[in-house]
Structure formats: C-alpha cells, structure tokens
A and B are shown apart, each in its own frame.
Chain A
Amino acid sequence: MTSRRAVPRRRVLTAGAVALPLAATASCGVPEALRKPPGLSASVQTLLLSITAEQALVDDYQAVIRRYPQLSGRLDSFLSQHRQHLAQLQGRLVVPPHVTMSPIPAPAAPGPSSPSAAGSAGAAVARLVKAEQDAAAEQLDRLTGAPAALAQLLASIAASEATHAVALGQA
C-alpha cells in the first residue's frame, strides 16, 4: 500500500538528475570548459586569415601607387574593391575581449619580392597579378568547413580577385 505522503516518482527522478552532476562537479572540481577563456572558433580563425590577406593586398596596392604614381588611375578601382573586401570581413569579426585582433603580424617593410619593390611599373603590375592569383586561391582553400554565409563571402571575394588578376594582366 502506498502512503499518501510518499514523494511522487517523477519528482524523485528529477531530484536524482540534478544531484548527479552536482556530485560529479564537487568531486572533480571546476569543469574543464570553465577553467580558461574559450579559444577562437574555426570561423574566427578563417576570418582573421582572410583579413590579414586582404590587408596585405591593400598595403601592396598602396605601396605600388606610392612608388609608381602613374599607375594610380589603373589601380585605384582594384584598391577600392580590396578595401570593400576588408571592410566586409572586419564587419563579421566578433572577438572576445581577451583576444588580440592581429595574430599574424604584418611585415614591417615590404620584402624584395613585394610588388612595390619591383624595378619597373610593369614588373610591379605583374607582381600584383601574381598576388591576386595567390590570394584568390588561398581564399578558396578556406572554404572547407566554413559556415555557408562566410563561405559565400569568401568565394565572392576570391572571384573578384580572379577578375582583378585577368583585368590587370590585359591592361
């Protein structure tokens, strides 16, 4: 015979479900996930790599235009589009307060193989073509595993860079 004061079975089960994790926490201390700030997600790392690559292209174009001002009219629209790429990528980046924004430091000065270090305006443009081709290929390498919206943005930027390479090469 069941006592009228007996605790309902469902309540017993609920209490047990709460008690088990509490006991586990008490015996093992703080869960691993709470011991340190979370790391960067794969999407954030992908974004940071893409931002670094776009910033490098912006820097390359600016440096070439500084050294060869006669190329300004030919290169300005491409530079403008890279700035738009950079703004879109940066706009999608939400970084926790404890994380610094630039895990990949940019070189302090252009190296000897940089576009602006080329010995002529034509050679500088040829190096920009190569930089655009490389950037487009690298963006495509980052597509795997990226969320759909980010993958589409990276693919669109890569396509834009591929058109830059062709247009620069033909001009």
Chain B
Amino acid sequence: MTTGAGAQGVQALQGILAAENAAVYGYGLAGAQLSGSQLAATQQDWNLHREARAAVASMITARGGTPAPAAAAYRPPFAVNSAASARALAARLEDGLVQAYLGLVAVDNRDLRAYGADEMQAAAIRAASWRGTTVAFPGLPASALR
C-alpha cells in the first residue's frame, strides 16, 4: 500500500496521465485543422505526449498504483473547426499539462518535484508557442496569487 508522499505522488501522476491522455486525443482534433509547419508541430507534440503518457503510466505502476485508462473520447472546450481554434485547443491542452505537472511540484519528493518542474517548463513553452504570448505565472490559479 502506498502512503504519505508516495500516495500524493501517485495521485498527482494520475492527474498528469489524465492530462496526457486528453492531449493525445486533442492533438488529433487539432491536427485535422492544420497544415504545413503547424501540422508538423502538431505531429511532433502528439508523439511527445504519447511517449509521456507511457512514461507516467510506468511511474504510477512502479509506485504500486494502477494507471487510470484513457476515456474513449474527450469533448473539446469549444468547437474545433478552424486553424485558429485548433491552435487555441493546443494551447489549452498544454495549459492543462502545466497545471497537472505543477501538482507534482507540491509533492515532498525531490525527484518527483524536479521531474514535475522540468516537464511543466516544457509544457509552458509549448503553450506559449501555440498561443503566441507568454504569461507571468503558468499553471498557478489566480487564487494562489496575492
């Protein structure tokens, strides 16, 4: 049985796995509306998220947990029927990953915290690239700011 920081870690990893599964599905929706270099970027990010979800599932298993399965389908937060909405969806998916990996940073475990911080940086960079702008506090809700 996993306890303490271990249980916290598995819980945070399950949140990341859910976000990675949503990203894999969502990038498929986005790719259908994009072409050229943006489609190539979509394919690159889609592959990256497929690898990431496998890695996170392995981390959950290694800690005694059972990776939650992906849903059969995910409802996008808005209609994805243009290149602009596809880019907005990609940015939204990466924002979700930034939040999920930030959850891992709260776990009192040196390795998991470092892993979460590194991965949230990568997701924040992808989100900024799709959105075209940077933000001051990636992943932090307004309620966490003073």
B contact residues around A149 at 8 Å (CB): 106, 144
Q: Are A164 and B134 in contact (CB under 8 A)?
A: yes
Q: Are A148 and B106 in contact (CB under 8 A)?
A: yes
With contact pairs A143-B114, A162-B124 given, residues A151 and B105 touching in the complex (Cβ less than 8 Å): yes
Q: Does B60 contact A (CB under 8 A)?
A: no
Within 8 A of B (CB), among A114-171: 136, 140, 143-144, 148-149, 151-153, 155-160, 162-164, 166-167
Q: Are B125 and A160 in contact (CB under 8 A)?
A: no
Q: Does A84 contact B (CB under 8 A)?
A: yes
B contact residues around A148 at 8 Å (CB): 105-108
Q: Are A160 and B114 in contact (CB under 8 A)?
A: no
Q: Are B134 and A156 in contact (CB under 8 A)?
A: no
B contact residues around A144 at 8 Å (CB): 110, 113-114
With contact pairs A92-B146, A159-B98 given, residues A81 and B135 touching in the complex (Cβ less than 8 Å): yes
Q: Does B145 contact A (CB under 8 A)?
A: yes
Q: Are A81 and B134 in contact (CB under 8 A)?
A: yes
Number of interface residues of A (CB under 8 A): 29
Shortest A93–chain B CB gap in Å is 11
Shortest B54–chain A CB gap in Å is 23
A sample of 28 inter-chain contacts (CB < 8 A) reads A81-B134, A84-B136, A84-B137, A85-B137, A91-B146, A143-B105, A143-B113, A144-B110, A144-B113, A148-B106, A149-B144, A151-B113, A152-B102, A152-B105, A153-B140, A153-B144, A156-B102, A156-B137, A156-B139, A157-B137, A158-B117, A160-B134, A162-B121, A162-B125, A163-B127, A163-B134, A166-B129, A167-B134
Residue numbers of B with Cβ under 8 A of A are 98, 102, 105-108, 110, 113-114, 116-118, 120-121, 124-125, 127-129, 133-140, 144-146
8 closest pairs, A vs B, by CB? A159-B124, A148-B106, A81-B136, A163-B128, A84-B136, A163-B134, A155-B117, A159-B138
